[in-house]
Amino acid sequence: MPRVDVYQALQFTGFQKGLNRNADSSRLEADELAVAQNVRLGPRGEVSKRSGYLRHDTNLTDEVEWLHPWRTPGGADFLIGVQSDGFIVHDDLLDGSFTNSGFNVGSQSVLQTYGVGIASATDKIYVSSKNIADVAAFDGAAWTAIPSIPKAKHLIHRHNRLFAINDFAKPSGIYFSELGTPEIFGSNVIDDMDPDDGYEVNAAVVFGDDLVMFKDQAVWKLSGRNPASFALYRIDQLRGSVSHKSIAQLRGRLLFFDRNSGVWAFDGATFELLSQPINDAMLASMDYDNAYKVASYVGEDRYYMAVPQAAGGFRTYVFFADSGGWTEYDTGFHDAIDYLNNRYQGVPNADGVWVADPDTATFPPSGAPLVGKFRTGWFLVAGPGTRSRIRRLEMTVKGPLSSQFTVRLYRDFDPDTAYITKTFTTGVNVLNSDDEERRITSDGWGNKIHAFQIEFETDALPFQLNDFVVFFTGGEQVRGPA
């Protein structure tokens, strides 16, 4: 009787660990990805296509570099922005119609030198800069100048005092207001944050009960609730940050970007490097001199970080708190916030404010569809020294009836030549209705191979791959020259 080959199977149930750009593809684990572009990781390892953004504002004519939400004591919601030309604007109904405040913090082309500080205190929100004529205050009705507040790079409201940090006179100094009166500073200043180290304070944030501040290569902490109990400590001198906008809090930890060593998490006692799987590639492609433009935000239990690229433009890296995995987007942002169930961004090379929309697959300014792509590492089909024949792929997918996706098979460690490419149109041969989850099968994938790598690509929205199985036969041992 002729030999009957028995199908064997390799099943992939998820990619929880996400992107790993620091290892060769042949060294990746089964739940890691060699490519993960414009896709998201689900809590159980499912991979889905990201969505896009639509224009929020109706009347802005400049890029927006800083964004800040504010709710008045009376419950009115505002979106405060600073444009590239330096003018402060506000949207008082969140309807996209912005009003110019008349105050200018200085052109954002000199952002590295001046920076912007925004903080709310009592019944006003304050906007500061080293280059502003006077700190501007907004009470929900009108903007006014407050010359008594130091023109500093950072404004922080903490324990009922307003702190102003890093002005021209004291780049390492901390000014603070009287208790409950954010516009009265007097001579209150702490100026011994090691000014002789040559570094200014680049970032400051309230974390727990403390005020944490970042220099280029140092992290400081101010403890205490009043001047009598204030205590200043340098808690680290091996890492720091040059970007205030890279700092965010996620699951009780402070995340920040150090341009020399990557993304770190600080829990109040210890530091943990989070970006090891993407670190070398991310730092090598970064525009080091413009690392102060790195921006971040937290939303949906994820940390998003936009990094300027040496080749031009931005790239966004996404950290998923559930799995600790990363993906990357081929787009960027100047600043972004999650507010009232909406995500707003200021987008490089695009005027105005943009808002996330789960029903669009495009991104400004080009408006072209976002292409989602992910690729596995290399897998030996049946072990070292053997060759096998790929017989069939089975995939569980979920998406709209109108979408299509492409699957590519690469063979024997050639990452540039797709051995087989197949495109599936969901309304024809995959799904029967929108948002359906269904198992699909594709037969006839080719000749005997040592190793394979599979890539999925789509511009459909929404689209999700839950798992796939590779069926093969053979496993013949190679003897002598292959």
DSSP for 96-141 reads S--EEEEEE---GGGTTTS--EEEEETTEEEEE-TT-SSEEEE-SS
Separation CA 190–CA 176 (nearest Å): 8
- Answer whether residue 212 shows pLDDT above 70: yes
The CATH code belonging to domain 52-367 is 2.130.10.10
CATH 2.130.10.10 segments of the chain? 52-367
pLDDT digits (tens, 9 = 90+) for 231-256: 999 999 999 999 999 999 999 999 99
Question: Reduced to 3 DSSP states, what percent helix, strand and coil does the chain have, rounded to the nearest 5?
Answer: 5, 50, 45
Confidence of residue 110 (pLDDT cuts 50, 70, 90): low
Rounded to the nearest integer, the mean pLDDT of the chain is: 91
- Answer whether residue 2 shows pLDDT above 60: no
pLDDT of 479 reads 56
Which architecture does CATH list for 8-49+373-477? Answer: Sandwich (2.60)
Q: Supply 14's token pair.
A: 């998820």
Separation CA 420–CA 445 (nearest Å): 7
Separation CA 323–CA 20 (nearest Å): 13
What is the chain's Cα-based Rg?
A: 26
| pTM of the entire predicted model | 0.94
pLDDT digits (tens, 9 = 90+) for 142-198: 999 999 999 999 999 999 999 999 998 899 999 999 999 999 998 888 877 776 676
CATH 2.60.120.260 segments of the chain? 8-49+373-477
Over range 286-297, report the average pLDDT. 95
- Share of residues in the chain with pLDDT > 70 (%): 95
Contact 172, 154 (CB under 8 A): no
Separation CA 372–CA 128 (nearest Å): 40
pLDDT of 1 reads 44
- Answer whether residue 213 shows pLDDT above 50: yes
Separation CA 35–CA 328 (nearest Å): 9
Separation CA 273–CA 472 (nearest Å): 40
- Answer whether residue 390 shows pLDDT above 80: yes
79 CB neighbour count, 10 Å cutoff: 26
DSSP 352: B
